[in-house]
Amino acid sequence: MSYAYLFKYIIIGDTGVGKSCLLLQFTDKRFQPVHDLTIGVEFGARMITIDGKQIKLQIWDTAGQEAFRSITRSYYRGAAGALLVYDITRRETFNHLTTWLEDARQHSNSNMVIMLIGNKSDLDSRREVKKEEGEAFAREHGLVFMETSARTAANVEEAFINTAKEIYEKIQEGVFDINNEANGIKIGQQHSPTNPSLPGSGGAAGAANSGCC
């Protein structure tokens, strides 16, 4: 299927916070309650529409366990977006966010859009991290924040799509160098330069268009 853009995402965060479930909910619209440890990295994909444009999301779901950390680090560089996930019912997963963020900032390209996700919002009775705390952390570190539930699918679509919107805006502003595929963005064949008045995106898109046809 043709697309205007292709974005690469990674999902990171402690083990058991529901990264794989978020991905499964987003790609397959189903929930698997049994915790199945991710080994290394798993792949998933889906098409979305933003601003009337088809955008393909390729998502790499990483293992949260410490043992796989050196492997998952290899994925930061080539990603355009990252979902940093914690579990609202386990405070320690929230406490580890700083480490994750440092790791991500160190290894990724500086324009990577990071979305902070507090998952398992359906388990409000066991909540250990207040929504306000998540909001405060996001504000402090310049992230977008959202609470989701992979079980009920609440906000799952929004989380992935809002991240894509943010990336899309950055492209329109000419922040991303879309010709460098190492940034996790690819231009599809369907693409036509939407905003030629913008010097950054207009020129780059035109060049890429002639290159891929």
Partner 1 sequence: MEFLKSGIKTVLGGTEPGQQPSAAETVEKLVDRVYSSTLLEDRRDACRALKALSRKYRIEVGAQGMPPLVQVLQNDGQDTEIISYALDTLCNIVTSEEFDEEADNPTVSVNVGGQFTEMFIKTPENVTMVMGYLDEYDFRVRRAAIQLITSLISNKTRELQDLVLVSPMGVSKLMDLLTDSREVIRNDVLLLLIELTKGNSNIQKIVAFENAFDRLFDIIREEGCSDGGIVVEDCLILLLNLLKNNSSNQQFFKEGSYIQRLAPMFVLAEEVEEAGWSPQKMSNFHCLLQVVRALVTPSNQHQVVTACQRVMQKSKLLNALCEILMSSGVPADILTETINAVAEVIRGDRENQHELSRVMAPSNPPRPVIVVLLMSMINEKQLLALRCAVLYCFECYLYRNADVQRTVVQTLLPSSATDVSSLSTGQLLCTGLFSSDALANWFSSVAIMHTLVENVALKEELLRVLLAPTGGQRPNTLLEMCTNLMQRERTRLQSKIGLLMLLSVWLAHCPGAVKALLETQGTTVYLTAQLCSNEHDEREFLFQGMCAFLMGLCIQFNDNSLPNQRREDISQLIIKRIGQETFCNKLGEVSRHEAYSRACKQAQIRAKSAGELLLDYEYCKLYKGLEALIAKLVSGFDVDGIELTELTLSSEASALVSQYKGIIRGMDAQIQTLQQSAKELGQENAELKEKLSAEQSLRAQISDQNTLLKAQLGATGQTPVQSQETSLAREEELNAARYQANMYFAENIRLNKEIEILRQQLATEKQRADASQESLLATQKDQEDLLELLADQELKLASYEHKTTAPKSTENQNQTHAETASEEGIPSETANR
In the chain, which ranges are continuous DSSP H helix? 19-28, 69-73, 91-95, 97-107, 131-141, 156-172, 199-212
Among 121, 44, 116, CA closest to 84? 116
Distance of CA 118 to the CA centre of its chain: 14
Residue of 31, 181, 194, 206 that binds partner 1 (CB under 8 A): 181
Site string for partner 1, 126-165 (x = CB under 8 A): ----------------------------------------
The alpha carbon dihedral of 56, 30, 63, 98 has a sign of positive
Size of the site for partner 1 (CB under 8 A): 21
Residue of 31, 65, 78, 122 that binds partner 1 (CB under 8 A): 78
Residue of 32, 35, 51, 71 that binds partner 1 (CB under 8 A): 71
Give least dist CB 17 to partner 1, A.
Answer: 20
* Contact between residue 141 and residue 101 where contact means Cβ atoms under 8 Å apart: yes
Give least dist CB 157 to partner 1, A.
Answer: 19
Kindly provide the b/e burial profile for residues 161-196, where b requires at least 16 CB atoms within 10 angstroms of the residue's own CB: bbbbbbbbebbbebebebeeeebbbbbbeebebeee
Binding segment for partner 1 among 13-21, 55-63, 82-90, 164-172 (CB under 8 A)?
55-63
Contact call for residue 37 and partner 1 (CB under 8 A)? no
Contact call for residue 110 and partner 1 (CB under 8 A)? no
Contact call for residue 109 and partner 1 (CB under 8 A)? no
Binding segment for partner 1 among 71-79, 80-88, 113-121, 190-198 (CB under 8 A)?
71-79
Which residues make up the interface to partner 1 (CB under 8 A)?
1, 8, 40-45, 56, 58, 60, 70-71, 73-75, 77-78, 107, 181-182
